[in-house]
A and B are shown apart, each in its own frame.
Chain A
């Protein structure tokens, strides 16, 4: 078996290969569903229905997609410049910490001023979180995969410490949780009485902004150049280290927005289970989107749909909702394979 590079890939191919990957994902997870003793047709029907079958389901999917769009963008931006940010989880949590620090009454402003202030502060916190590993990388050659990954655990323990100490809600009956956000600091709901909040709009707008940055600006150009060939970029006079630092700031800031929007838009306070691994799932989302910022929206909704749908499905069919995790994992693998096949042609013998 040999791989032969394809001279170019057509528009159709760039759409058909990912579609094939999704089909393969469904086929492979059908096997598991059958092993679990259920009919794949029923199960997938229930997943689709649970994810998009009603207004409630659809809104829930969008709600779940919101943090994934942010972390997916964070990863897509960083990976594009070959900054391997595995620490979106840490940046998310520190963004959330800054959100509750400022949003629980410490700052009093009208809502229209307070929310942007908190948002920017949260972004800066996440940005600085990733700046450290980026500087270690450019200055001393420390592998950012290691530093960002390990920071996740450090930050989680740090947050745990905060929630047991300075940030602990005195009226929380001893639970490790922060005080509630004041009303002025909370993001409005998009539809009265539903969970979908303004964070979703922010996420979609962020994706558009990131797309513009990557496509149209000198910064995006620099990031892509550094990602594709740092040596040639340096030769051409692109300040590689500074570009990596800027990438880190952007990526960390986006990941922190996930924390901000979850706290200010959905939960209202900070707990240790704020994120069921949104930072890591962001990697899957970014890969599924092939690092395209607009693709991230679609990929995040897809992944969120699987999670939400599987939850609903597991309640009615007797299949554990873990199938969602397996499906997301399989989709990552098939997608990586599809990207490979898009670029290379396989020749047998």
Chain B
């Protein structure tokens, strides 16, 4: 291994031949990995490649079927989270494990001392936490409730929690998925300081840019196997991507748009607030053959707009016009009947029913059509063959149409949702954060399908918090801020900085005139 050529760095963690099977699925297939003192190793891989399983084994949440783990030269007993903690391994999960109704300080101290002596060490703890926070750039207010903290702050609390327990090895699972670009920068600065102080970090990610920015070495997993290992400085982005997907990376090319007539219109729509701001006098037009991108900082009304168009949120005022006709009663059913394909923001909560099968999920929007039911009786054969069709056409990795959706990875779930939404070639498509949490391969796939729909003449509304994505795909970009839309700009008309200004709410005069 090319990692052995730094004689001064001791190996703090060594995984040897780790194998984990879930039934017939081999989640980890003889994976070996070594982590040195003072280094950041990025664990790169698509969803379902086995990254999280591997880390769960390391952290004792799962027991490996084969293989050994050595921490600081000592074997780690398997299946015991406390052993991992005691050995100096700290993990920051993608979904934080914090008690909402306790303060940051209490959360950090929680579990480190017996409950009945809880208050005794507070002053001491506060001092240590303040020290750690200033050493590593982890600003938190120790006495605020977790519920009041932003996502970035919560993550800092999680990292402090690990450091407070004297973790020497820190594992971060997709830490940037929930952060704004600025918070991401701050996190990377913190990681650099931690590493300089002699800690070692495993950084789990599927975002190549971040991996390159922060890691010393990249370990790539694919399909549960070790696909390769590279020094970050010696690997190109393209090489890493191809290791990750195991072949040529699909490149999406987006041609010039052929704008057609207006297919969907909102006129002066207002709504109550959901998941952030509500809409406030929003008007917009979607044209066939165009992708309209909606940019904005999270919580500025994107959720309300998506729910409104999907039919799950009622408008307080204004008109929805589809195919030139004003709609009277608007509901999910009405939206479907108008031929709107909808991709919801939250796959698990809104998109799919985890405890039902693939077949049952893909027919959920069309089960009443004569295709799938007659006289109130479902035609399960038709449903199963429809599901098989989607599984094949969209390359969904799942054992059968009868498999529970819960067992699928996020990318595969999203493909099912795409298959369901795009069935029957809808000419209006609303995609809300369609690539959030997906890996490179799945992202490219989703983009390709959206471009395909646009090229055949559909009007696509793409709501995303990823400005790169918006700029790459959109023929027209509108920015949402506090429930109001900016004047839409054509592709390339505004720079990133100018869009950023609109996202921050500067230049609302343009939006106001449009909304009026």
Q: Shortest beta-carbon distance, B50 to chain A, in Å?
A: 15
Q: How far is the CA of A85 from the CA of B200 in the complex (A)?
A: 55
Q: Within the complex, which residue of A218, A229, A349 is in contact with B353, where a contact is CB–CB below 8 Å?
A: A229
Which of A4, A216, A229, A239 gathers the greatest number of chain B CB atoms within 10 Å? A229
Shortest Cβ-Cβ A-B pairs, 9 listed: A236-B364, A237-B332, A237-B333, A229-B353, A228-B355, A228-B353, A235-B350, A7-B23, A232-B353
26 interchain pairs, CB-CB under 8 A: A7-B22, A7-B25, A216-B378, A216-B380, A218-B368, A218-B376, A218-B378, A221-B360, A225-B364, A228-B353, A231-B350, A232-B350, A232-B351, A232-B364, A233-B364, A234-B312, A234-B332, A235-B312, A235-B351, A236-B332, A237-B335, A237-B336, A238-B364, A239-B333, A347-B79, A349-B79
> Chain A residues near B303 (CB, 8 Å)?
none
A218 engages B364 (CB within 8 Å): no
Among B321-337, those with CB < 8 Å from A are 331-333, 335-336
Q: How far is the CA of A232 from the CA of B335 in the complex (A)?
A: 15
Q: Does A325 contact B (CB under 8 A)?
A: no
Q: Does A224 contact B (CB under 8 A)?
A: yes
A200-241 Cβ-contact flags toward B at 8 Å (1 or 0): 000000000000000011110100110011011111111100
Q: Does A139 contact B (CB under 8 A)?
A: no
Q: Does B356 contact A (CB under 8 A)?
A: yes
A232 engages B352 (CB within 8 Å): yes
A235-B332 contact, Cβ under 8 Å, with A7-B22, A225-B360, A229-B354: yes
Q: Shortest beta-carbon distance, A83 to chain B, in Å?
A: 17
Of all chain B residues, which has the CB nearest A349?
Answer: B80
Q: How far is the CA of A229 from the CA of B348 in the complex (A)?
A: 9
A224 engages B350 (CB within 8 Å): no
Q: Within the complex, which residue of A219, A232, A239, A349 is in contact with B376, where a contact is CB–CB below 8 Å?
A: A219
Q: Shortest beta-carbon distance, A311 to chain B, in Å?
A: 40
Interface residues of B (CB under 8 A from A): 22-23, 25, 61-63, 79-80, 310-312, 331-333, 335-336, 342, 344, 349-356, 360, 364-365, 367-368, 373, 376-378, 380, 404, 407
> Chain B residues near A233 (CB, 8 Å)?
353, 364
Which of A228, A236, A347 gathers the greatest number of chain B CB atoms within 10 Å? A236
Range for the number of chain A residues in contact with chain B: 20 to 34
Q: Shortest beta-carbon distance, B413 to chain A, in Å?
A: 11
> Chain B residues near A238 (CB, 8 Å)?
364
Q: Shortest beta-carbon distance, A115 to chain B, in Å?
A: 26
> Chain A residues near B63 (CB, 8 Å)?
347
A237 engages B331 (CB within 8 Å): yes
> Chain B residues near A225 (CB, 8 Å)?
353, 356, 360, 364
> Chain B residues near A237 (CB, 8 Å)?
311, 331-333, 335-336, 364-365
Q: Within the complex, which residue of B79, B344, B407 is in contact with A235, where a contact is CB–CB below 8 Å?
A: B344
Q: Does A316 contact B (CB under 8 A)?
A: no
A218 engages B367 (CB within 8 Å): yes
A221-B353 contact, Cβ under 8 Å, with A2-B61, A7-B407, A237-B331: no
Q: How far is the CA of A221 from the CA of B23 in the complex (A)?
A: 29
Q: Shortest beta-carbon distance, B136 to chain A, in Å?
A: 31
Of all chain A residues, which has the CB nearest B81?
Answer: A2
Q: Does A8 contact B (CB under 8 A)?
A: yes
Q: Shortest beta-carbon distance, B360 to chain A, in Å?
A: 7
Of all chain B residues, which has the CB nearest A8?
Answer: B23
Q: How far is the CA of A217 from the CA of B404 in the complex (A)?
A: 20
Q: Shortest beta-carbon distance, A14 to chain B, in Å?
A: 14
Q: How far is the CA of A228 from the CA of B23 in the complex (A)?
A: 25
Of all chain A residues, which has the CB nearest B80?
Answer: A349
> Chain A residues near B80 (CB, 8 Å)?
349
Q: How far is the CA of A221 from the CA of B378 in the complex (A)?
A: 8
Q: How far is the CA of A231 from the CA of B351 in the complex (A)?
A: 9
Of all chain B residues, which has the CB nearest A216?
Answer: B377
Q: How far is the CA of A2 from the CA of B80 in the complex (A)?
A: 10
Q: How far is the CA of A211 from the CA of B396 in the complex (A)?
A: 31
> Chain B residues near A347 (CB, 8 Å)?
63, 79
> Chain A residues near B344 (CB, 8 Å)?
235
Of all chain B residues, which has the CB nearest A348?
Answer: B79
Of all chain B residues, which has the CB nearest A2?
Answer: B61
B311 engages A231 (CB within 8 Å): no
> Chain A residues near B360 (CB, 8 Å)?
221, 224-225
Among A321-349, those with CB < 8 Å from B are 347, 349
A217-B377 contact, Cβ under 8 Å, with A7-B25, A232-B352: yes
Of all chain A residues, which has the CB nearest B335?
Answer: A237
Q: How far is the CA of A231 from the CA of B332 in the complex (A)?
A: 11
Q: A228-B355, A235-B351, A349-B80 are in contact. List 7 more A-B contacts (CB 8 A).
A: A217-B377, A218-B373, A219-B376, A225-B356, A228-B356, A231-B349, A233-B364
A230-255 Cβ-contact flags toward B at 8 Å (1 or 0): 01111111110000000000000000
Of all chain A residues, which has the CB nearest B333?
Answer: A237
Q: Shortest beta-carbon distance, B275 to chain A, in Å?
A: 13
Q: How far is the CA of A225 from the CA of B362 in the complex (A)?
A: 12
Q: Shortest beta-carbon distance, A7 to chain B, in Å?
A: 5
Q: Shortest beta-carbon distance, A10 to chain B, in Å?
A: 10
Q: Shortest beta-carbon distance, B379 to chain A, in Å?
A: 9
Among A169-183, those with CB < 8 Å from B are none
> Chain A residues near B335 (CB, 8 Å)?
237
> Chain A residues near B367 (CB, 8 Å)?
218, 221
> Chain A residues near B364 (CB, 8 Å)?
225, 232-233, 236-238
B356 engages A235 (CB within 8 Å): no
Q: Shortest beta-carbon distance, A349 to chain B, in Å?
A: 5
> Chain B residues near A218 (CB, 8 Å)?
367-368, 373, 376-378
Q: Shortest beta-carbon distance, B55 to chain A, in Å?
A: 15
> Chain A residues near B350 (CB, 8 Å)?
231-232, 235
Q: Shortest beta-carbon distance, B385 to chain A, in Å?
A: 17
Q: Shortest beta-carbon distance, A330 to chain B, in Å?
A: 28
Q: How far is the CA of A283 from the CA of B22 in the complex (A)?
A: 35
B310 engages A235 (CB within 8 Å): yes
Q: How far is the CA of A299 from the CA of B63 in the complex (A)?
A: 37
Among A295-329, those with CB < 8 Å from B are none
Of all chain B residues, which has the CB nearest A230?
Answer: B353
Q: How far is the CA of A234 from the CA of B380 in the complex (A)?
A: 21
Q: Shortest beta-carbon distance, B235 to chain A, in Å?
A: 35
Q: Within the complex, which residue of B22, B25, B336, B355 is in contact with A229, where a contact is CB–CB below 8 Å?
A: B355
A1-24 Cβ-contact flags toward B at 8 Å (1 or 0): 010100110000000000000000
Q: Shortest beta-carbon distance, B262 to chain A, in Å?
A: 25
Q: How far is the CA of A266 from the CA of B22 in the complex (A)?
A: 53
> Chain B residues near A349 (CB, 8 Å)?
79-80
Of all chain B residues, which has the CB nearest A235?
Answer: B350
Q: How far is the CA of A21 from the CA of B498 in the complex (A)?
A: 66
> Chain B residues near A231 (CB, 8 Å)?
349-350
Q: How far is the CA of A89 from the CA of B204 in the complex (A)?
A: 55
Q: Shortest beta-carbon distance, A80 to chain B, in Å?
A: 11
A76-96 Cβ-contact flags toward B at 8 Å (1 or 0): 000000000000000000000
A29-47 Cβ-contact flags toward B at 8 Å (1 or 0): 0000000000000000000
Q: Shortest beta-carbon distance, B334 to chain A, in Å?
A: 9
Of all chain A residues, which has the CB nearest B346?
Answer: A231
Q: Shortest beta-carbon distance, A203 to chain B, in Å?
A: 23
Q: How far is the CA of A7 from the CA of B335 in the complex (A)?
A: 36
Of all chain A residues, which has the CB nearest B365?
Answer: A236
Q: Shortest beta-carbon distance, A343 to chain B, in Å?
A: 10
Q: Shortest beta-carbon distance, B62 to chain A, in Å?
A: 7
> Chain B residues near A219 (CB, 8 Å)?
376
A228-B378 contact, Cβ under 8 Å, with A218-B368, A237-B332: no
Q: Shortest beta-carbon distance, A336 to chain B, in Å?
A: 18
> Chain B residues near A217 (CB, 8 Å)?
376-378
> Chain A residues near B352 (CB, 8 Å)?
229, 232
Of all chain A residues, which has the CB nearest B63?
Answer: A347
